[in-house]
Amino acid sequence: MAIRDISVIIDNAGSQPAAVAAAELARRFDAHLVGIALAYDPVVPGYGVAPVPADFMVEARERAIDEAKVAASAFGAIAERAGIAAETRITDVLTGGGLDGLVAQLHFSDLVVIGQDDADHSEPMRDAVIEGVLFNAGLPALLIPRKGAPTIPLDRVVVAWDGSTTAAKAVRAAMPVLERAKAVDVVIVGEDLPEGGEPGADVAAHLARHGVPVTIRTVADTAGDIAATLRQAVLESGADLLVMGGYGHSRLREWVFGGVTRSMLDTMTVPVLMAR
């Protein structure tokens, strides 16, 4: 599937690494880019315990909308410098996880780009937004680390392969990127895979038929930390992108990240393309 429509969740402050990366991808793939600025419901300490004046809530809400407008303007400048077709939207994010409006904005996107939460400019629900998009929007997400260069060369890619359905979905979602890469390492942590036969042989053959220059690497999880093992594999390969399936578990009818996924997103050093 070609990438023709990209959405990016605009950071409300900071240097906008996700917007810069999304604009570069849109230029490279000749895709239309939609920047979505989030107007967060005000977080009020003690709300529900003590009454909060109505005018306080109105003022806090107006500040949230103003912040989203400033972020949208910054995104517009980034898109203009990149010379791409782009539009900007503002959507509400409600305290308590009301993300229906945001998910609806993503129905016609092929890829959504989201930045890792920045401790210097933390947003109150950024982690909830990332989880909600990945588990509910039905499209792959490209997560951009808060540190490092926002541009993505896409020359060397690591695919984390464990034979699961989510890993296969991530490979299919990443195919337009993988077909452009100069080298792709399929990294298998351990050898106990559900597919049988030689570990990784089937996915390697599939990628090769798409013209992807692929190598299989099996690495041992000696430390008992799969996320750390994958980060080391990315470092050793010199990769500028990691592709992996996103794992989660149900909690009170909501989905939250599993341990490996959560650890990878908290400590990632290169962009991570994730699907589930």
Encode pLDDT of 151-166 as tens digits: 788 999 999 998 889 8
Given a contact cutoff of 8 angstroms between Cβ atoms, the answer to whether 213 and 245 are in contact is no
Is residue 33 included in any domain, yes or no?
yes
- Of 144, 164, 197, the residue that ends a domain is 144
Looking at the structure, tell me whether residues 126 and 208 fall in a common domain: no
Is residue 102 included in any domain, yes or no?
yes
Least reliable range by pLDDT among 3-17, 61-75, 110-124, 206-220 = 110-124
Is residue 70 included in any domain, yes or no?
yes
Looking at the structure, tell me whether residues 119 and 178 fall in a common domain: no
Looking at the structure, tell me whether residues 46 and 111 fall in a common domain: yes
Task: Give the residue numbers spanning the domain of 40.
Answer: 5-144
For 217-270, the pLDDT digits (tens) are 999 887 778 888 899 999 999 999 999 987 654 443 344 456 777 788 888 889
pTM of the model: 0.89
Looking at the structure, tell me whether residues 139 and 11 fall in a common domain: yes
Looking at the structure, tell me whether residues 197 and 79 fall in a common domain: no
Instruction: Please tell me the distance from the alpha carbon of residue 166 to that of residue 274, in angstroms, as a whole number.
Output: 9
- Of 115, 144, 173, the residue that ends a domain is 144
Within 13 A of 88's CA, how many CA atoms are on the CB side?
20
Is residue 149 included in any domain, yes or no?
no
Question: In this structure, what CATH number is given to the domain that contains residue 223?
Answer: 3.40.50.620
Domain count, the chain: 2
Looking at the structure, tell me whether residues 139 and 162 fall in a common domain: no
Looking at the structure, tell me whether residues 239 and 125 fall in a common domain: no
Please give, one letter per residue, the 3-state secondary structure of the chain: CCCCEEEEEECCCCCCHHHHHHHHHHHHHCCEEEEEEEEECCCCCCECCECCCHHHHHHHHHHHHHHHHHHHHHHHHHHHHHCCCEEEEEEEEECCCECHHHHHHCCCCCEEEEECCCHHHCCCCHHHHHHHHHHHCCCCEEEECCCCCCCCCCCEEEEECCCCHHHHHHHHHHHHHHCCCCEEEEEEECCCCCCCCCCCHHHHHHHHHCCCCEEEEEECCCCCCHHHHHHHHHHHHCCCEEEEECCEEEECCEEEECHHHHHHHHHCCCCEEEEC
Looking at the structure, tell me whether residues 178 and 130 fall in a common domain: no
Distances in Å between the Cα of 235 and the Cα atoms of 91, 149, 186, 231 are 37, 15, 14, 6
Looking at the structure, tell me whether residues 160 and 200 fall in a common domain: yes
For residues 127, 28, 138, 233, the Cα torsion angle rounded to the nearest 10 degrees is -60
pLDDT value of position 45: 53
Looking at the structure, tell me whether residues 75 and 119 fall in a common domain: yes
Q: Is the pLDDT of residue 271 over 50?
A: yes
Given a contact cutoff of 8 angstroms between Cβ atoms, the answer to whether 162 and 175 are in contact is no
Instruction: Please tell me the distance from the alpha carbon of residue 224 to that of residue 220, in angstroms, as a whole number.
Output: 9
Looking at the structure, tell me whether residues 168 and 105 fall in a common domain: no
Is residue 179 included in any domain, yes or no?
yes
Q: Residue 196 — pLDDT band, cuts 50, 70, 90? A: low
Is residue 151 included in any domain, yes or no?
no
For 95-146, the pLDDT digits (tens) are 665 688 899 999 999 999 999 887 777 776 788 888 888 888 989 999 999 8
pLDDT value of position 117: 82
Is residue 235 included in any domain, yes or no?
yes
Is residue 271 included in any domain, yes or no?
yes
For 23-55, the pLDDT digits (tens) are 999 999 999 999 999 998 776 555 555 566 677
Looking at the structure, tell me whether residues 77 and 171 fall in a common domain: no
